[in-house]
Amino acid sequence: MPSIKEIMETMEYGPAPESNTDVKRWLDSHSGGISHFINGKFVAPTGPMTDVINPADDSVIATLAKGTQDDVDAAVKAARAAFSKWSALPGYERAKYLYAIARHVQKRERFLSVLETMDNGKTIRETRDIDIPLVARHFYHHAGWAELLESEYPGFQPVGVCGQVIPWNFPLLMLAWKIAPALAAGNTVVLKPADLTPLTAQAFAEICVDVGLPAGVVNLVHGDGETGSLITGHDDVDKVAFTGSTAVGRMIRKQIAGSGKKLSLELGGKSPFIVFEDADLDAAIEGVVDAVWFNQGEVCCAGTRLIVQEGVAEQFFGKLDARLQKLRIGDPLDKTMDVGAVVSHTQLKRINALVKKGEEEGAVLHQWAAELPKKGSFCAPAFFTGTEPAHTVNETEIFGPIACTMTFRTPSEALEIANHSRYGLSASIWSQNIDRAIEAGAKVKAGIVWINATNLFDAGAAFGGYRESGFGREGAREGLHEYLVATSGKKGKPRSATPLEASVSPNLGKGELPEIDITAKMYIGGKQARADGGQSYNVMGKSGVIGQAALGNRKDVRNAVEAAAKAGGWSGVTAHNRAQILYYLAENMSQRRDEFAALLSASNGSSTKAATAEVEQTIRRCFWYAAQADKFDGAVHATKSKHVTLAMPEAWGVMGIVCPDEVPLLSMMSLILPSVAMGNRAVVIASQAHPLLASRLYQVLETSDVPAGVINLITGERDVLAKTLAEHDEVAALWYCGSNENVKMVEEASIGNLKAVWTDGGFERDWRDDSQGQGREFLRRATQIKTIWLPYGE
Amino acid sequence: MTHDFPRMTGTAFTPEWIDGKIVNFSAAERRASSLSGRRSVKKEWQAAWLLKAITCMDLTTLAGDDTPGRVRRLCAKARRPVRGDILEALGVEGITTGAVCVYPTMVSHAVKALEGSNIPVASVATGFPAGLTPLPTRLAEIRYAVEQGAREIDIVITREHVLTGNWQALYDEICAMREACGEAHLKAILATGDLQTLTNVYKASMIAMQAGSDFIKTSTGKESVNATLPVSLTMLRALRDFKDLSGQIVGFKPAGGISTAKNAIAWQVLIKEELGSRWLHNDLFRIGASSLLGDIERQLEHHITGRYSASNRHAMA
């Protein structure tokens, strides 16, 4: 050890270890193995055990049981049994439990921080200052929601039993993000912690016991992905929540397609970190530290694509290299370390392979140059320069402390680069020009936007992504919706899955000359369009054939999506403007009441009275959504002081809408109106049985100043077209009102880009009933929340 | 430590170096507040860092009731800031403060009291603390202090020049002061509490360095807000940019409100992280303080005995 005199010359930091004596004692007391927590009891481990490793020194610190089908069954059964009582508790009673959990987390703050560090390899600085305080904050916040649930969410009820699977990068924090809202809303849970990091979950279960949480409300089953899939696929699970890789998210989406389970996915990212020339560069450099070198880069929302304006790029990369060399990497229990160990040697190998790939592809690696500890899975933090969009490392989530860099010339190019990604989790924007920063925040495709900051989290701000980063939100008012369902009225009849038998050849048998023959076309990009296949099918009315409708095929869907994608201006016009057009639509439809009523009667045999009422109600619904267009807006959340945190509902972009046959005009419009009111462009597959209403509708659209491409109407075989639409990667969200069998089909087909799919499970709705056919839930489903963090102060 | 670099000379007035510069306050605040959680010094390292802080201290008295007797007492403390038995236990010797800082009329008393110690006397000047006396008077005051034996002059800038963006005037004024200092080193007090914004702080720092300040210093200790970490961070970054742009090396002196050992370490950490360990030696770093020493002494004694100490066990300053 150097003398004090010597230290006065070198001014080095010296070791500053956090004690782990208490945690070691706890680990000793669990030397029999970590096992499941089912129905309030710790189940003695059976079967083969796996090792739990401290990644900082490769030592085995515990052993872990792997959950079997029997374990999962028992856990789900316990959760189901606990559900009725737990969900029936007054909010105040549930709030008391959540409050007690928050308090206990705080009382065990140091213990949990040390345990998390030993299990995961992340630094004590982060577990102590970030992870564990956020865990407590999450339970406090949701104790509040439990209290307020009834008054704040009228018409909603808990989903039931939730199956939750969480990752290893923020073990206890992800557990909190899953369990707190589920419990607040009155659900019970079966959660699987990551097999690499199960220890704080065990400690959490012990806290549940300490606070007297009723048995079965929280159940933990340990294990790997196989156990996870037993939970997500379990028949008696009503809701699945997953945080992890996009690949596994896809598997889960597919696994539970058609099951009726509610799903939220928080997946991967390759988030942009945009540095404009007018940024405070030193501030942005620290931003990179917090974005990429935080938690060893094992962060789904890490800003790993540094997009820097060309004029300052060289200077920025120079500063970044200097800053990189200042990082301290080593024993994560040492309080002076910035970067700890990555979670496992497997993960380390994966990172190193990608780094090698980046170098092979021609990028220049700037790496932390000092020596890594001999033992443990440590990774030297680094960044690349010269990474082009086409390079593997620029597209692939590395999940390690490695950033890629690109340069841009203009703000619009910055956004083009930023948005050119499958993902859309977060974005960090650095500029001292408020106009520029806010514009970039508005235009970037990401669920979370940090202006002149990065990786800010709070239970009161929603977290979740766009695109293949998943759907659903965690935290805040928005996040609670993932754990609630609308208290439904009477379920309708199941819809038929019988495919349309499209009769496309002449020889009707009998005929008479109409006044003038009508050619019903489709409506694509503001133009009437004949079917690509050059075919029309006979439309059957109550008393035989009433005309022919265009028989759309996959190319028509393609064309319609293309037209909708081009109509992006619609999302940018004012809400007032959209409202005006919806009012105008109502006005023009009103002038054609009789025509629509007559067509309805001819189509499905509605009485004149019923048909007239349906038209009238359709017009009213135009008014209702026109009214909502500029009123369904976001919120400013109370998060940290000196931060404005905005929750903005944004349109998905291109939405697919598949219409049912019941009350065909009203149902079609009940789906189109909320979608376009919020700024989406809709590709609509009209009722296959009553397609002539769509061809009548486009005449109204044409006279109502609906811009080209905003509403596109396709007619033909519903589920053939729906499949193409569900598979289309440009379509961001899909509403499907078809049969139950085909709910499964569209949900499976949606995995390409992981579009958000909303269905009614294949049951008819009573569209005439405002509580089923209209409402804020439609508007909520027509939007996704973008959370924008705006720190301020001078 | 002896200078291993030439005394800085300043540069021509170069407003391009500050044009369009805006410092992001919230990011500076985040950096400053997270740093103390990111670094920690324990045991021997803590003792060494605190001793180092003493060697960087400008032990200061700037009160209306200062007298030769008061100044002599302060100088005695500067010569022997820590009890001999404590130093012995720590295995170090020859620890003195970096300087003694007084008003111009007290300089001669301090010089006399410090004779033979090689501890420099620093004098505030230029109408401290407001700096609103006429420029010739302020320059004359500098010359007086230098004649009295001050080797360092802590000048105050005219805040008006910063608040109205008159950078040329600020530059010219400090140039004149530097000239008046001659061989004595000039420390420019920016009175950052009056400048309010970090952008002002950055720009004033840069212009003060262009004009030839050997040190830039945060505060007089008389503003309502003294040295803060975000302000210091901003000044350190300006200092780093200045070095990159001009190749010249400038020192840094936070002053006012740094009264605990923990505070002192927070500043040392900030400097080490932003600039490097070289800036922790007293030719480039000073802490202006009057009550800090007492707290450090108690911490050092605690380090040796394991018992919490009391202030009456250490000599008064």
Domain spans in chain A, listed from the N-terminal domain onward: 38-267, 272-468, 528-633+649-783
Is the CB of A791 inside 8 Å of chain B's CB atoms? yes
Express each pLDDT in B180-224 by its tens digit.
999 999 999 999 999 999 999 999 999 999 999 999 999 999 999
CA pair distance A497, B4, nearest whole angstrom: 86
What pLDDT band is residue A499 in, cutting at 50, 70 and 90?
confident
Is the CB of A18 inside 8 Å of chain B's CB atoms? no
- Residue B2: predicted pLDDT: 55
Burial class from Cβ neighbours inside 10 Å (0-12, 13-18, 19+) for residue A33 reads middle
Question: What SS3 string covers A93-159?
Answer: HHHHHHHHHHHHHHHCHHHHHHHHHHHHCCCHHHHHHHHHHHHHHHHHHHHHHHHHHHHHCCCEEEC
Q: Cα angle at B189 between B185 and B194, to 5 degrees?
A: 175
Asked whether this chain's domains A38-267 and A272-468 adopt the same fold, the reply is: no
Contact B45 A794 (CB under 8 A): no
Question: Tell me, what DSSP letter sits at residue A34?
Answer: B
Q: Which A residues, 717 through 776, put their C-beta within 8 Å of a C-beta on chain B?
A: none
* Paired sense of beta strands A536-541 and A544-550, if any: antiparallel
Report how far apart the first and last C-alpha atoms of chain B are (Å, whole number).
Answer: 25
Which chain A residues contact residue B92 at CB under 8 A? 4-5, 8
- Closest partner residue to B26 (CB to CB) among A5, A336, A642 is A642
> Which value, to the nearest 10 degrees, does the dihedral of the CA atoms of residues A68, A74, A76, A77 take?
160
Quote ipTM for the complex: 0.96
Nearest CA in chain A to B31: A286
Q: Which of A567, A774, A573, A745 is nearest to A654 (CA)?
A: A567
pLDDT of A695 higher than 60: yes
Share of residues in chain A with pLDDT > 70 (%): 99
Is the CB of A435 inside 8 Å of chain B's CB atoms? no
- Closest partner residue to A10 (CB to CB) among B197, B268, B277 is B277
| DSSP bridge partners of B285 | B252
* Average of per-residue pLDDT across A543-550: 90
- Token digits for A276? 């404009």
What pLDDT band is residue A374 in, cutting at 50, 70 and 90?
very high
Is the CB of A133 inside 8 Å of chain B's CB atoms? no
Express each pLDDT in A96-119 by its tens digit.
999 999 999 999 999 999 999 999
CA pair distance B273, B262, nearest whole angstrom: 16
- Closest partner residue to B42 (CB to CB) among A11, A14, A452 is A14
B172 as an active site residue: the answer is no
B272 as an active site residue: the answer is no
**Residue-averaged pLDDT of chain A:** 96
- Token digits for B32? 């400053």
* Average of per-residue pLDDT across A376-388: 97
* Paired sense of beta strands B57-60 and B99-102, if any: parallel
- Domain total of chain B: 1
Which chain B residues contact residue A284 at CB under 8 A? 27
In the CATH scheme, what architecture does the domain A528-633+649-783 have?
A: 3-Layer(aba) Sandwich (3.40)
What pLDDT band is residue A516 in, cutting at 50, 70 and 90?
confident
CA pair distance A33, A38, nearest whole angstrom: 15
- Residue A501: predicted pLDDT: 84
Question: Tell me, what DSSP letter sits at residue A551?
Answer: -
Is the CB of A92 inside 8 Å of chain B's CB atoms? no
The number of beta carbons lying within 10 Å of the beta carbon of residue A514 is 9
Is the CB of A109 inside 8 Å of chain B's CB atoms? no
A547, B17, B61, B109 from B67: Cα distances, Å: 110, 44, 10, 9
Question: What are residue A747's phi and psi, to 5 degrees?
Answer: -65, -40
Is the CB of A314 inside 8 Å of chain B's CB atoms? no
Helix segments in A273-398, DSSP class H: 281-292, 310-325, 345-360, 392-395
Question: What are residue A784's phi and psi, to 5 degrees?
Answer: -130, 150
Contact B24 A13 (CB under 8 A): no
A77 neighbors A58 (Cβ within 8 angstroms): no
A292 neighbors A271 (Cβ within 8 angstroms): no
Contact A794 B198 (CB under 8 A): yes
Where would I find the beta strands (DSSP E) of B89-147? 99-102, 121-124
Is the CB of A14 inside 8 Å of chain B's CB atoms? yes
Is the CB of A25 inside 8 Å of chain B's CB atoms? no
- Closest partner residue to A3 (CB to CB) among B30, B91, B237 is B91
The number of beta carbons lying within 10 Å of the beta carbon of residue A217 is 26
CA distance A336 to chain B (A): 4
- Residue B129, preceding bond cis, omega within 30 degrees? yes
* Average of per-residue pLDDT across A277-306: 97
Q: Which range has the worst mean pLDDT, A390-404, A539-553, A733-747?
A: A539-553
Contact B26 A4 (CB under 8 A): no
Interface test with B, best of A8, A13, A456 (most B CBs within 10 A): A8
Nearest CA in chain A to B201: A794
pLDDT of A273 higher than 70: yes
- Residue A767: predicted pLDDT: 96
- 3-state secondary structure (DSSP) of residue B218: coil
Contact B22 A432 (CB under 8 A): yes
A7, A15, B83, B280 from B92: Cα distances, Å: 11, 21, 12, 18
Interface test with A, best of B45, B229, B244 (most A CBs within 10 A): B45
- Token digits for A442? 């508005």
CA pair distance A284, A102, nearest whole angstrom: 34
Cα A685 to the chain's mean position, in Å? Answer: 25
A161 neighbors A79 (Cβ within 8 angstroms): yes
State the catalytic residues of A. 266, 300
pLDDT of A497 higher than 90: no
Which chain B residues contact residue A13 at CB under 8 A? 39-41, 45
pTM of the model: 0.96
pLDDT of A611 higher than 70: yes
Is the CB of A516 inside 8 Å of chain B's CB atoms? no
Is the CB of A281 inside 8 Å of chain B's CB atoms? no
Q: Out of 3.40.50.1370, 3.40.309.10, 3.40.50.620, 3.40.50.970, select the CATH number for domain A272-468.
A: 3.40.309.10
B253 as an active site residue: the answer is yes
pLDDT of A317 higher than 80: yes
Share of residues in chain A with pLDDT > 90 (%): 94
The CATH number covering residue B71 comes to 3.20.20.70
- Residue A498: predicted pLDDT: 83
Please indicate, yes or no, if residue B8 is contained in any of the structural domains.
no
Is the CB of A319 inside 8 Å of chain B's CB atoms? no
A23 neighbors A114 (Cβ within 8 angstroms): yes
Is the CB of A12 inside 8 Å of chain B's CB atoms? yes
pLDDT of A512 higher than 80: no
Nearest CA in chain A to B55: A8
Which chain A residues contact residue B52 at CB under 8 A? 8, 11
CA distance A172 to chain B (A): 21
- Token digits for A731? 């379509």
Which chain B residues contact residue A11 at CB under 8 A? 48-49, 52, 268, 272, 277, 280
Is the CB of A318 inside 8 Å of chain B's CB atoms? no
Which chain A residues contact residue B23 at CB under 8 A? 280, 283
CA distance A125 to chain B (A): 6
- Residue A507: predicted pLDDT: 74
CA pair distance A404, A389, nearest whole angstrom: 10
CA pair distance A632, A785, nearest whole angstrom: 12
CA pair distance A462, A772, nearest whole angstrom: 27
Please name the helix (run of DSSP H) or strand (run of DSSP E) that holds residue A539, with its range, or none: strand A536-541
- 3-state secondary structure (DSSP) of residue A572: helix
pLDDT of B3 higher than 70: no
Express each pLDDT in A37-78 by its tens digit.
999 999 988 888 999 999 999 999 999 999 999 999 999 999
What pLDDT band is residue A616 in, cutting at 50, 70 and 90?
very high
Contact B39 A129 (CB under 8 A): no
DSSP A466-477: EETTEE--BSHH
CA pair distance A100, A93, nearest whole angstrom: 11
A255 neighbors A229 (Cβ within 8 angstroms): yes
Nearest CA in chain A to B50: A8
Is the CB of A1 inside 8 Å of chain B's CB atoms? yes
A328 neighbors B41 (Cβ within 8 angstroms): no
pLDDT of B265 higher than 50: yes
What pLDDT band is residue B1 in, cutting at 50, 70 and 90?
very low
| Residue A209 CB partners (closer than 8 Å, separation 6+) | A40
pLDDT of A488 higher than 80: no
Express each pLDDT in B276-295 by its tens digit.
999 999 999 999 988 999 99
Which chain B residues contact residue A793 at CB under 8 A? 25-26, 29
Crossing angle of helices A664-677 and A575-590, in 10° steps, is 160
Residue-number span of the structural domain to which B295 is assigned? 15-313
Share of residues in chain B with pLDDT > 90 (%): 97
Express each pLDDT in B111-120 by its tens digit.
999 999 999 9
CA distance B171 to chain A (A): 24
Contact B27 A453 (CB under 8 A): yes
Which chain B residues contact residue A7 at CB under 8 A? 44-45, 48-49
CA distance B225 to chain A (A): 15
Please indicate, yes or no, if residue B9 is contained in any of the structural domains.
no
The CATH topology of domain A38-267 is Aldehyde Dehydrogenase; Chain A, domain 1 (3.40.605)
CA distance B92 to chain A (A): 6
Contact A16 B42 (CB under 8 A): yes
- Closest partner residue to A7 (CB to CB) among B44, B198, B272 is B44
Q: Which of A703, A745, A740, A738 is nearest to A717 (CA)?
A: A738
Contact A286 B197 (CB under 8 A): no
pLDDT of A637 higher than 80: yes
Which chain B residues contact residue A794 at CB under 8 A? 25, 196-199
Beta carbon pairs, A and B, within 8 Å: 97
